[in-house]
Amino acid sequence: MASINEREEKILLNEEKIHPKLYANVSSDDIEWYLDNGASNHMIGYEPHFTEIDRAITGLVKFGDGSKVSIRGKGSIIFNCKNGEQRVVHDVYYIPDLYSNILNLGQLTEVVCKVWMASDHLWLYEDDDRLLMKVPRSLNRLYKIALTVGKPVCLLNSICDQAWL
């Protein structure tokens, strides 16, 4: 969307009759995400899920009904995959008043992901054609998936035998 300046950004969502408190975020590491093409960016309302966050990024998100909520940062979130690997999603807006988490499909395709939708499923692939997720379409025609938020892992190796150097 249109940027006001480097540090303040505007986003528009085209949803009507939003009742956010019905879908409030919880502090669990398994959280629901909507895979969406209507929003312009990844967004979440729960700060502890961020691995890193730049709180200098501010702005507003405007909904289709004219209501607005404030952006209070932008950062990265780590997800745990079922195979034990981790994936990092960058450029996620922190919006404290947002009660639904959104992964923007357009933003995912910018980082070389491929999206395929057919029948009643959405498939998201990495650039090497490895399947990242298969998401069923819900009765209200939305694609929603529970993802496990991960924590950064630091690996340390120490060599005591100088011959190995």
Tell me the pLDDT tens digit for each residue of 73-105. 999 999 999 888 999 999 999 999 988 899 999
Dist CA 58 CA 70 (whole Å): 7
Average pLDDT over residues 64-77: 92
Per-residue pLDDT tens digits for 51-61: 999 999 999 98
CATH classification (class only), 21-150? mainly beta
Task: Select from 146, 151, 150 the least CA-distant residue to 31.
Answer: 146
Average pLDDT over residues 28-45: 88
**Domain range list for the chain:** 21-150
Q: What is the pLDDT of residue 7?
A: 57
Give me the sign of the Cα torsion angle 118, 137, 126, 81: negative
Average pLDDT over residues 127-151: 93
Per-residue confidence band for 110, with pLDDT thresholds at 50, 70 and 90: very high
Checking if the pLDDT of 160 tops 60, the result is yes
Q: What is the mean pLDDT of the chain?
A: 83
Lowest mean pLDDT among 22-31, 74-83, 95-104, 113-122: 22-31
DSSP E strands in 13-137: the ranges are 30-36, 42-44, 52-54, 58-62, 68-71, 74-80, 86-94, 101-104, 114-118, 121-125, 131-136
The helix (run of H) or strand (run of E) holding residue 146 is strand 143-149
